[in-house]
Chain A
Amino acid sequence: MSPMMMGGPGGPRGGRPGGPGGPGSRKTVRENPNSVQITKDNATFLMKNGFLFMACPKDAEPRRVLLHRDFPFDHPWSYISVLSTDNTELAFLQNIDLFEGEEKEIIVRELERKYYTPAIKKILSVKDRFGFSYWDVETDSGKVTFTLQDTFKSISRAGDHKLFFSDVDGNRFVIENIEALDRKSHKKIELYL
């Protein structure tokens, strides 16, 4: 347990935080009593055919795995479940800092790839009609238009300054810091805060 206590963005916490899946997730994650806590010492990650593979212990045959954020809003880089392709938890990574170098990069890339969340830099226009709102924004992945149904419920807050959007198609967007938005954009989103 000792290497677990290194802390990270979420801070060290004793025990295993419970509850798989984020809001809206319907996948059943199967309990696995043999799920292990992993560090760079007992597991290794590699990419193959465009997918992430894990060997745990390190000399075992690598198998394909999926990373799942247990607290996608509050702790994107901690509390990560490593699932098999049929959603059984194989391992638990308390913090990505437990890996380093190329392997850590692989984990970060895999998480960012699975959680595709363009960051909104500028809000160009917001139109609100009968519970639907139509957004025209600039993100770090270019200009995007998207639609929210039931706007207030489609925007979740994480911390004081961070906002997550889930649009009608299931796309995610994030505003990392609402205070850092320009005045015009801020005015447009003010209503929904």
Chain B
Amino acid sequence: MKLSNKTKELFKRAHKLQPELKHEEVVSLWEYNLDRDHPRGLTDGFVLISDHALTVYENDAIALCEPMENIKEFRFQAGVGCVFAEYINKNGDSFLISRADSSHKTRIATAIKAANHYFLFGSHAFEKYFPAANVCPKCGRAYRQGSETCLNCIDTKRAAKRLWGVAKPYKWLIFASMTLFVFISLLGLITPILTQKLTDEFILSETPDKISPLMYLVVIGNILLVQLASRGLSSVRNWTLVIAGNKVVHRLRGIVFDKIQRLSIARISKRTAGELMNRVSQDTSRIRMFIVNQIPHLLEQVLLFLVVGIAFFVYDWRLALLVVLPTPLIALAFALFRGIMGKLFRRNWERSAQSNAVLHDIFSGIRVVKSYGTEKRESKRFEDYALAEKNTQLKIETKWAYINPLLQFLISFGEFFILFYAGNAILGGEMTLGEMSKFSSYAGMLYTPLQFLAGFPRHLMMAKTSITKVFEIIDEPEDIKDAEDAKDIQIKGAVSLKNVTFGYDESVDVLRNINLEIKPGEFIGLVGKSGTGKSTLINLVMRMYDVDEGSVSIDGVDIRDISQESLRSQIGVVLQETFLFNGSIYQNIAYAKKDATREEVIAAAKAAGAHNFIIRLTDGYDTWVGEKGNTLSGGEKQRIAIARALLHNPKLLILDEATASLDTETEKQIQESLAKLSHERTTIAIAHRLSTLRNATRLVVLDKGRIAEIGTHDELIEKQGIYYNLVMAQREMSKMA
């Protein structure tokens, strides 16, 4: 039996407590850490379920022991920040077994499933519920359902390393520009030497008449040449850099965008659209600015500093020492301000993200705002967030305004020493004027990098914040992945759910042990009160989420083995809330099939009952709809969405309250046309208006996450169960109307 280290540890503990216990007798086991009665009390608890008894040890003493023959079921109950485990005896009374903090949630939830498996099937299922691969190798915590990333130990390498990973394909471009940097820095050293020559040998020459005009021209010409070469190389360098920087950011943007698209609905809906947009556009552009403007500048300055520094020391080490005197100060300042500025930039980022999100929120809900007349309140809300953003921004700027001049002064302090030293040397005849001008040029060259370095933390922290935010998305665990050998299949339309159990959260199962066989061409109506798991069921068929237990298969293939693209491209979906993209009606219908002909689009529109109203529009199929196109009614939008779903003639059509906003007359028309087309198509439809499902071959009634009834309309009416009651209630309603 392959078990994780953590489980082995548990087994060891069990063995210590019950030495006579054999491995194969163990049904389930878990640890817990909270006192059962005292709210804040901590304890060291251990639950061991063998095939003959449940034993609970607390601080290694038996706290509870119950023979298995008295127990009917184990249950998991989530508190807030903690979880409870309980058992139900044969009389139906429940008893508390353990209480633990939420870090134990996944482990206890699966342990309880293992225990209940024993009651259901009479067999042990240790490998199934305690597989070695299910536990983070680093910290021993169980992975969340359907995930293989431990959020507590997620790999968070340093920002620079991550960015380099993205930049790697362009390393030759980057290498080329670096080489150019070295050349340009070296060229920069030549000019002061030539100027010195010019000053000492020509301008201040004691024998001016002996100067050869040709030599003079040669020196001047050399200065010009060096300048030309340096500018020329700089252009080439800038060119390579801009290309490299933009390529890196373009790639990064692609990676982030792709990643967002690949994330499951559950993860995407955690964030607002505004926030995601922020990351794709704003953060990546900040990173580009950093790569194109700041990093090269940094390299240039550091190289310059090194080259000039070495040259300086070679010429006159005493002078050099004076010049570099303030360097430790700068290093210190760098370290100090990096922390402060980093925090400020992080806060500023969050504030700006917040105000963007609020803005997005208000604008998306502008109809609600207008209809409740809350414009003023919303203005105030935005103003508050904008104010908070302004305040953090102001804090950054004021801090900077204080710090920067002080730093700059400190840095250039050494310059006074040079003036003093060189002045003395010249007066004493040890140095020429030309040499002094050369030295002050070099000193200037040394100070520029130092000054730049002092200001660098600001840019660095700004970029780091953005890099962090971007990689946060890239690192987001992907919970629905294509299997490595995912197949593309041609769907025929048989859907089968076997023992499907699923919950959005481990503690609450939304669907429990669902078994359903749908034959190709069937029209299945899903019925039930809200919150009974109807939409969840179709989400599972579309694989928006993966099942926790059991399997969903199409034509006998588990959908986890079908590539998501192949699966979804063959399913037509119409949801209650329709979304039309910015574009023409034609484009919106053709969205489902790239190469759709106009004839196909018209045929789909006709089938969806949309053609008639479309041709009444002035611009026909070219009418612009989407966010700005508020000209269409809810029912019209819904019909366009139905046309979109029908366009690629899907073998599996899913309708989630798709005709809810249509009047009964129009709905009837659409249903008739759907019925005409549906002989080769499997349809799964959810509707509260039961008349919508009058053509259904079978109705599936869900109640509390289980299938309560299956059958045709007549069969279920005869049964006088839940469906019957729903029908009767709706009849009452329509009588009243």
Please measure, in the bound complex, the distance between the C-alpha atom of A27 and the C-alpha atom of B194, giving whole angstroms.
81
* Chain B CB within 10 A, most for which of A86, A109, A191: A191
Chain A residues contacting B156 (CB-CB under 8 Å) are: 129-130, 132
Is B146's beta carbon under 8 Å from chain A?
no
Q: A157 in the interface, Cβ–Cβ < 8 Å?
A: no
Q: Which of A117, A132, A142 contacts B154 (CB 8 A)?
A: A132
Q: Closest Cβ of chain A: how far from B260's Cβ, in Å?
A: 14
The prevalent SS among residues of B at the interface is mixed
The CB with the most chain A CB atoms within 10 A, among B78, B80, B94, B270, is that of: B80
Q: Is the CB of B80 within 8 A of A115?
A: yes
Q: Given the interface contacts A113-B99, A150-B472, A171-B103, does A72 sit within 8 Å of B80 by beta carbon?
A: yes
Q: Are A49 and B347 in contact (CB under 8 A)?
A: no
Known: A51-B94, A131-B475. A116 touches B82 (CB 8 A): yes
Task: Determine whether the beta carbon of A172 is less than 8 Å from that of B154.
Answer: no
Q: Are A49 and B39 in contact (CB under 8 A)?
A: no
Contact yes or no, B468 A131, CB < 8 A:
yes
Q: How far is the CA of A190 from the CA of B350 in the complex (A)?
A: 13
In chain B, residues 134-177, which have Cβ atoms closer than 8 Å to a Cβ of chain A?
141, 151-152, 154, 156
- The contact of A49 among B96, B151, B510, B704, by CB within 8 Å, is B96
A-B contact count (CB 8 A): 107
Q: How far is the CA of A171 from the CA of B81 in the complex (A)?
A: 4
> Measured between C-beta atoms, what is the minimum distance from A69 to chain B in Å?
8
Kindly list chain B residues whose C-beta atoms are within 8 Å of the C-beta of A26: 504-505, 508, 510
Return the chain B residue nearest A129 by Cβ. B156
Task: Decide if A51 touches B96 in the complex (CB within 8 Å).
Answer: yes
Interchain CB contact under 8 A, A142 and B42: yes
Assess whether A6 is interfacial by the CB under 8 Å rule.
Answer: no
Residues of chain B within 8 A (CB-CB) of A142 are 42
Cβ–Cβ contact A131 & B347, under 8 A? no
Selected from A27, A50, A86, A116, the residue in CB contact (under 8 A) with B101 is A116
| Distance in angstroms between the alpha carbons of A153 and B34 in the assembled complex | 27
Chain A contacts with B in 38-85, Cβ cutoff 8 A: 49-51, 64, 72
Known: A26-B505, A130-B475, A132-B154. A118 touches B95 (CB 8 A): no
Say yes or no for A140: interface residue by CB 8 A criterion: yes
Q: Which residues of A contact B103 (CB under 8 A)?
A: 169, 171
Residues in chain A near residue B78, CB distance under 8 A:
170
* Beta-carbon contact of B469 and A147 below 8 Å: no
> Is A141 an interface residue when CB atoms closer than 8 A count as contact?
yes
Interface: A114 (CB within 8 A) = yes
- Contact across chains for B40 and A50 when beta carbons are under 8 A apart: no
Q: Mark B322-363, 1 if CB is under 8 A from A, else 0.
A: 000000000000000000000100110010000000000000
Output the nearest chain A residue to B530 by Cβ-Cβ distance: A28
The CA-CA distance from A124 to B692 in the complex, in Å, is 61
Q: Please, which residues of chain B bring their CB within 8 A of the CB of A171?
A: 81, 101-103
The answer, yes or no, to whether B79 is at the interface (CB within 8 Å) is yes
Contacts of B82 in A (CB 8 A): 113-114, 116
CB distance from A136 to the nearest CB of B (A): 13
- Write out the residue numbers on chain B whose beta carbons fall within 8 Å of the beta carbon of A172: 80-81, 102
Tell me the smallest distance from the CB of B534 to a CB of chain A, in Å: 12
Q: Which of A72, A86, A116, A168 meets B704, CB within 8 Å?
A: A86
Q: Are A140 and B152 in contact (CB under 8 A)?
A: no
**A128 CA to B81 CA, complexed, in Å:** 23
- Chain B residues with CB under 8 A of A51: 86, 94, 96
Contact between B40 and A147 (Cβ–Cβ < 8 Å)?
no
**Listed A/B pairs (14) with beta-carbon separation below 8 Å:** A26-B505, A27-B508, A86-B704, A114-B80, A116-B39, A116-B82, A130-B154, A131-B471, A149-B151, A167-B102, A168-B151, A169-B101, A169-B102, A169-B141
A-B pairs, 3 with minimum CB distance:
A50-B96, A131-B472, A112-B39
- Beyond the given A109-B37, A116-B102, A128-B346, please list 12 additional residue pairs across the A-B interface where CB-CB is below 8 A: A26-B505, A30-B531, A113-B99, A114-B82, A130-B156, A131-B471, A142-B42, A152-B350, A168-B152, A169-B103, A170-B102, A170-B105
Q: Which residues of B contact A (CB under 8 A)?
A: 34, 36-40, 42, 78-82, 86, 93-96, 99, 101-103, 105-106, 141, 151-152, 154, 156, 270, 343, 346-347, 350, 468-469, 471-472, 475, 504-505, 508, 510, 530-531, 704
